[in-house]
Amino acid sequence: MLLRDIGPIPNAVRPTVGPMLGTHDQLLTAVIGEKLLSSFDDFYIHQTSHPISIPATGDRNAYDRSFFNGYTADGSLYFGVSSARYPNLHIQDCALTVAWGDQQHSFHGSRRAPQDPIDMSTGPFRIEIQEPMGNIRVVLEDNETGIGADLEWIPRSAHFAEDHQTLTPEQIGRWMIATRMNQFGFWRGELRLPGETITVDPTQTYGTKDRSWGIRPVGDPAPPGAPQPPKGLKFFWAPLHWPSHVTHIGVFEGDHGEIWHWDGFQLPAYSQADQIPGIEDPDIKRFASVSHNFRWLAGTRRVSGGQLTAQLPDGDPIEIEIQPIRSILMKGMGYGHPEWGHGQWKGELATFGESWDLNQIDPLAPENIHIQEVVRVHDGASEGVGVLEQLVVGPYPKYGFTKFFDAAT
């Protein structure tokens, strides 16, 4: 079941339309002499009557994010990159995290958002779009944290858009309205940790590009209004690499296993980026249904194994056996971080570094619930590798969870 019709969208998330008579438009008219124009205003890409730097919504939670992960097939290395612009908060931030050995190291950066959205830098960090929808470079110059990177993204598949996502305040406490597009690829380059440089081999290092934009809860907490009961959320996201194709499965669920949103796709993988047929692949296939049957690691809310099942419209169900081989904390990229969460004002420019011993963290602390696991996968015919992202908060009777943060037994 897809959430496509949820009734009226609140005014805060509607674009301004009609003649320039409202307060919002009068204010824009008054400040149009300010620096509102950007390099993108030379292109035929406008979606409203305003310059590109003016978002179509006044919602404080508007965001535009790049996310990447990378990992070796044996799980010895994982790294993740997150960078986003929050146009109505006037903030741009970033993070780069590296899990190597028993340690996870993270760099965080935040700044006042630059006027021109083509500037995807935050202090020593930057993303370079070398070829739109193609090769990308991620750089973290040497800095006081000792964490650095020079990485090149090499596409392995075409892009595809997940189904448009809408979650409501009745479900998660806030609106989340977003488009998300993904691509599979390899990585080349190097990562630098204090006293050590790690070579990233494109023949061994897989990954996912995840671009999303829209509205989601970000920034410092907004005034809560009347007290509401806490909301749970179950989220699973599984981009998987196989020898000749890639698959994607994503699911949002409620406390009783009700499906709020799901989608799933299978598409060809290519050995060379120039073999990819275009931005989107005409040979993409949509799954007719997806489901899961997980086992859980005692004392945690982490998947220890189990199956994902995907049904193609014209074939038998695909049973995917999952074997986790490494877990990493999403707070290393700002997700749920108590101090360096997404869209939090840290000043004109601020950077920060931190490390965790992954054997010593409390897996049930709220900021440690959201994880990605590097997983080996098998479908009966071939073996693959990927990640299983998971965020399981609140009761989940299907798997024996009865409280907000109780553990598997």
pLDDT over 70 at 6, yes or no: no
More confident residue, 223 or 406: 406
pLDDT over 90 at 7, yes or no: no
pLDDT over 50 at 248, yes or no: yes
- Contact in structure between 405 and 366 (CB atoms under 8 Å): yes
Render pLDDT for 344-396 as a digit per residue (tens, 0 to 9): 999 999 999 999 999 999 999 999 999 999 999 999 999 999 999 999 999 99
Burial of 42 (0-12, 13-18, 19+ CB in 10 A): exposed
pLDDT over 60 at 185, yes or no: yes
Q: Round to whole Å and give the CA distance between 197 and 291.
A: 40
At residue 34, the pLDDT reads 59
What are the Cα distances from residue 182, in Å, to 67, 91, 155, 374, 409? 9, 24, 11, 18, 35
The residue behind tokens 């005034």 is: 223
At residue 222, the pLDDT reads 79
Write out the H or E segment, with its range, that includes residue 383.
Answer: strand 383-393
SS3 325: strand
What are the Cα distances from residue 98, in Å, to 84, 162, 188, 386, 393? 19, 27, 15, 16, 25
Render pLDDT for 16-71 as a digit per residue (tens, 0 to 9): 333 333 444 544 544 445 568 999 999 999 999 999 888 899 999 999 999 999 99
DSSP state string for 91-119: EEEEEEEEEETTEEEEEEEEEEPPSSTT-
Fold of 62-219+231-273+281-399: AttH-like fold (2.40.370)
Confidence of residue 1 (pLDDT cuts 50, 70, 90): very low
Structure tokens at 52: 């590109």
Residue 146 neighbours by CB distance under 10 Å: 15
Confidence of residue 187 (pLDDT cuts 50, 70, 90): very high
Which residues lie below 8 Å from residue 399, measured CB to CB, with a gap of 6+? 294, 296, 408
Render pLDDT for 287-341 as a digit per residue (tens, 0 to 9): 999 999 999 999 999 999 999 999 999 888 999 999 999 999 999 999 999 999 9
| Helix, strand, coil abundance in the chain, percent, nearest 5 | 10, 45, 45
At residue 13, the pLDDT reads 39
Domain chopping of the chain, boundaries? 62-219+231-273+281-399
